[in-house]
Structure 1
């Protein structure tokens, strides 16, 4: 089951130490104080741009279903908009990772605090023709 696999990935990320420097892993990217996992990735939309809205809704529904499972563990999430973080970065402010990087392609995240770490779920899309991704983030860095 996909939800079970996603929960297992999040649990694995929560149990892993953070690396000393930024790098890629088979699950996504990690760096000092954070892990980012690509839980699911859609097709791109170069050939069929009209399908993007349907896929966006599908990925948001998948995020919401996973969020419901995580809410059973840690309570209701805070929905944290990253638009202002994006604007601050665009104005030259130095932003901590993973938040600065996420703000470029994730409009908002569902956010929990558990065992001294933040756990976030978001739907990413870098541009209209590019795939959607369901992302999980585990970090010790407070949202800016």
Structure 2
């Protein structure tokens, strides 16, 4: 992870317009939210022996980036996403960004602003897929 580049990308999430319903963007987006994949590990299809070590590495990267953001925006709120996933699985309506992130990120550090939240987290869609460091903006 290049800290300066990642910091610049995350800071941009606070001011960039969020995609509308028909926007095409890099990384991942939907109406009213944007998700950036800041760092991605290798896949674990054949060898899962390194998964815990990789998660630890990505958690440390996330903490370093969060510390840099604390210097700019102040302390974040810790957001657990398992309740969001539970509500979503029960057919309840959840904010789109929180719904997507809850599928692969267990918890986030979130900074709340007037028109959006900007958050950081580490996740993995499936045990064989890469671990990712994500930043996102939208309604949590």
- TM-score, normalising length: structure 1: 0.90
Matching of residues 1-144 of structure 1 within 5 Å: 2-21=2-21, 25-26=25-26, 28-114=27-113, 116-139=115-138, 141=139, 143=140
Q: CA deviation at 1:14?
A: 2.4
Question: What CA distance in whole angstroms lies between the structure 1 residues aligned with 2:19 and 2:76?
Answer: 26
In structure 2, the gaps of 5 or more residues are none
In structure 1, the gaps of 5 or more residues are none
Contact 1:22/1:30 (<8 A) preserved: no
Question: What CA distance in whole angstroms lies between the structure 2 residues aligned with 1:41 and 1:23?
Answer: 24
Q: Secondary structure at the match of 1:44?
A: coil
Contact 1:49/1:129 (<8 A) preserved: yes
Question: What CA distance in whole angstroms lies between the structure 1 residues aligned with 2:62 and 2:22?
Answer: 26
Contact 1:81/1:107 (<8 A) preserved: yes
CA offset digits 1:22-77 (Å, max 9, x no partner): 65522x12222211100011001112101000000000000010000001111111
Contact 1:74/1:114 (<8 A) preserved: no
Q: Displaced runs of 4+ in structure 1, greater than 6 A?
A: none
Q: CA deviation at 1:8?
A: 1.1
Relative to structure 1, the CA distance from residue 105 to residue 12 in structure 2 (aligned partners, 3 Å threshold; closer, same or farther) is: same
